[in-house]
Structure 1
Amino acid sequence: MTTLDVLLPYYGDVALMQAAVHSVLAQTDPDWRLTVVDDGTEPGVPEWFAELDDPRVSYQRNEQNLGVTGNYRKCLGLAEYEYLVFMGTDDIMLPNYVATVRAALAAHPGAAMVQPGVEVIDSTGKPSHTLADEAKRRIYAPKDQGRILMGGEELAVSLLRGNWLYFPAICWRTEAIRKTGFRDNLEIIQDLALVIDLLQAGEQMIVDDTRCFQYRRHTVSISSKSAYSGTRFTEARRYFLDVADRLDEQGWTRAAKASRLHLSARIHALTLVPGALRAGQWDGAKTLLRNVTSTTSRPR
C-alpha cells in the first residue's frame, strides 16, 4: 500500500487544530503525508506551520473562504496517493491510526472505505457518552468483533436505519471518492450520502473495531448549532426521500423502505424538542416536530 494522504480542511479553533496536527506527527507508522488547507484568517497559523519543518506536512491558506464543501473538494483535488482520510480539525488520531487502516487494507485490497474503531471525547478531551453515540454503538453498529468486510444493500439498510459511522475517521480509496464526489445541496448529511453512493456503485467497506481515533463531540459543531433550529433534520429528510427513489430503481427495496422511514433521525429530532423549548426556540421546536411526524411527502 502507498502513503496515506491525511487531508485537513481547516477552519476554527487554532489550539484544537494544532492538537490534531500533533496527533498525526505522533503516528507509529510514518508513511503518511499531511495536507492542511486553511479556509480561515486566524493570525499566526501560517507561521506555526512554517516552524514545524516536516517535509511530510504541507500548508496553504485559501485566498477566499470556500465553505465546508468547497474546501473538502479542494483538499480532494490535492490528494496524490491511493488512499486518503478527511480528518476533522478538532479530532485526534491515536498513534496506531495509520498502522490500523493500512493493515485492514492489506487484508482486503481494493476496498473503498475503512471505518476503524472510534472513541468519542468532549470539548476537553475526556471520554463522552451521549445518547446519540450510545445508540450508534449499542443499537445500530454491527455486533461483529474484529475486522469484517461489508457492502451492498445489507450495509445500506444498516446505515439508513441509523448512521453509526464517524466520517472524519474513515479512510477512503481516492479514485472511488473522486468518481462519486460531494453533493452541492448537502452539508450535514454529506457523509452518509457519499457512502450510500459508493455502495450503490458496488464498493465495499472494511469495519475494524480496533480503537485508533478520537472523535470530538461538542456544542460548537455545525451539526450541533443547527440541531435546535431543526434545519439539519429538514436536510436529512429531503435526502432520505430522494435516495429512497434511487434505491427503489436499483431494486434495493429494503434499503428504500429504511430510508423513507429514517426512524433514528425522527427519534433524534424528538429528543431535541424539550431543549428547543427550554431555549425559547419555538420555531425550531415546530420544525423538529414536523420532521418527527412527517410522512413520505417531500418537505417544502
Structure 2
Amino acid sequence: MKNSIDIIVPYWGEFSLLKQTVDSVLAQTSKAWHLTIIDDHYPDKTAYNYYKKLNDKRITYIRHRKNIGITANFNYAIQHASAPYCMIVGCDDKLLPSYVDTALKNIGEADFYQPRVQIIDDKSNVYLPLVDKVKRILQPKKSGILSGEKLAASLCHGNWLYFPSITWKTDTLKRYSFDTKYKILEDVIVELTMIIDGASLYFDTTETFQYRRFAESLSSKEKGKNGIRFKEEKEVYDNFSDRFNEIGWKKAARAAKLRVTSRIHSFLSRF
C-alpha cells in the first residue's frame, strides 16, 4: 500500500490493556496499517498465546527470547518498521477510529505528526490531570507545520508532545536510535536532535488518540521521590542547551537551561 502506517506496540504488561490497544487498531476506519506487537519476554504468555491463535494477517506477533528492556525494544521497533510511516504505541494506549485516516491525510511533507490527545485513566475514563492541562496550554492553538528554533524552544519550555501518539516518516526515524542510557527521556533526545537536523512537525488539533496516564505506568512510577525522570531531564536539557548555543539558537538554549515547567513539576512531585 503506497501510504500506510506500521503500528508497532512494544509489549510488557497487562494483557487486558494490550487487548484494548489492539482492538482500537482493528477498529480503524482506514485499512492502511499493519500491526506488530513486540513482546519483551513478558513472563505471562497470555498475550502470546492469544494472538498466535488469532491468525490475522494484519497482525504480527514477535516475542523476544529474553528481556531486552524498554529502550532497546524501541530501537528494535525502528529496525522493524518498513512502511512509509510508523508509530510506536504504548501497550495501554488507544487509537480513536479515525487516527490512521487523519494522520495520513495531514502529515504531508512533515517528518512527524502529533495529534491532540485525550487522557484516560486505568478504567479508560477521559480526564485531564494537571500535567496535561499544562501541556494543553503550551500546545499550538491551530493546526500546522512547525520547525527550527521556535519549535525547539517551545518544547523546552514544556514538552507538549505525546510520543506514543506520534506518526513518524519511517525514513527519517531510521536515521536515529534511542539512547539506552535513558529510561524516560529517550524520546525527547530523538525529537530535539531531529529538529536540530531540520525535521518538521505537523501539529493537528484534531483529537484522534487516547493516552493512558495512571499510577502504575512506568513514567508515573519514575516521577516519584526516588524516580529518575527529573535527574534525566536536568542532564538532557542541560546538554541540549549547550548544543543549541553551538548552533546559535539562543532562545532555545535559554529555554532548555531554564526548563520552567520541568522544574515546577519536579517541585510539585515532592508533595
Give the TM bin, normalised by the shorter chain. Answer: over 0.9
- In structure 1, what is the Cα distance between the partners aligned to 2:179 and 2:121? 29
User: Structure 1 residue 2: deviation in Å?
Assistant: 2.1
Partner of 2:79 in structure 1? 77
User: Structure 1 residue 16: deviation in Å?
Assistant: 0.2
> Which residues of structure 2 form unaligned runs of 5+?
none
User: Structure 1 residue 184: deviation in Å?
Assistant: 2.7
Q: Which aligned pairs between 1:26-45 and structure 2 lie closer than 5 A?
A: 26-39=27-40, 40-45=42-47
Given residue 78 of structure 2, which amino acid in structure 1 is its aligned partner?
Answer: L
Q: Which aligned pairs between 1:72-151 and structure 2 lie closer than 5 A?
A: 72-105=74-107, 108-109=108-109, 111-138=110-137, 140-144=138-142, 147-151=143-147
Q: Work out whether residues 128 and 217 of structure 1, in 8 Å CA contact, stay in contact via their aligned partners in 2.
A: no
The answer to whether structure 1 residue 273 and structure 2 residue 270 are counterparts is yes
The answer to whether structure 1 residue 233 and structure 2 residue 230 are counterparts is yes
- Give the counterpart of 1:158 among 126, 142, 154: 154
Partner of 2:66 in structure 1? 64
Question: Which structure shows the bigger proportion of residues in helix conformation?
Answer: 1
Q: Work out whether residues 9 and 89 of structure 2, in 8 Å CA contact, stay in contact via their aligned partners in 1.
A: yes
Aligned residues: 268
Partner of 1:19 in structure 2? 20
- In structure 1, what is the Cα distance between the partners aligned to 2:190 and 2:75? 13
Give me the TM-score of the superposition, normalised by structure 2: 0.96
The answer to whether structure 1 residue 262 and structure 2 residue 262 are counterparts is no
Q: Which aligned pairs between 1:168-179 and structure 2 lie closer than 5 A?
A: 168-179=164-175
Q: Which has the larger radius of gyration?
A: 1
User: Structure 1 residue 230: deviation in Å?
Assistant: 4.4
Higher relative contact order (CA 8 A, sep 6+): 2
The answer to whether structure 1 residue 181 and structure 2 residue 182 are counterparts is no
Partner of 2:91, secondary structure, is coil
User: Structure 1 residue 59: deviation in Å?
Assistant: 0.2
- In structure 1, what is the Cα distance between the partners aligned to 2:46 and 2:67? 18
The answer to whether structure 1 residue 246 and structure 2 residue 248 are counterparts is no
Superposed CA offset, 1:190-224 (max 9, x none):
22211111100001000011111000000111111
Give the superposed CA RMSD: 1.1
User: Structure 1 residue 128: deviation in Å?
Assistant: 1.7
User: Structure 1 residue 41: deviation in Å?
Assistant: 2.3
Partner of 1:273, secondary structure, is coil
Q: Work out whether residues 230 and 269 of structure 1, in 8 Å CA contact, stay in contact via their aligned partners in 2.
A: no
Give aligned-pair identity as a percent: 35
User: Structure 1 residue 35: deviation in Å?
Assistant: 0.7
User: Structure 1 residue 161: deviation in Å?
Assistant: 0.1
Partner of 2:207 in structure 1? 211
Q: Which moved more, 1:41-50 or 1:56-65?
A: 41-50
- In structure 1, what is the Cα distance between the partners aligned to 2:46 and 2:238? 45
Given residue 198 of structure 2, which amino acid in structure 1 is its aligned partner?
Answer: G
Q: Which aligned pairs between 1:278-293 and structure 2 lie closer than 5 A?
A: none
Give me the TM-score of the superposition, normalised by structure 1: 0.87
Large movers: runs of 4+ above 3 Å: none
Q: Work out whether residues 10 and 37 of structure 1, in 8 Å CA contact, stay in contact via their aligned partners in 2.
A: yes
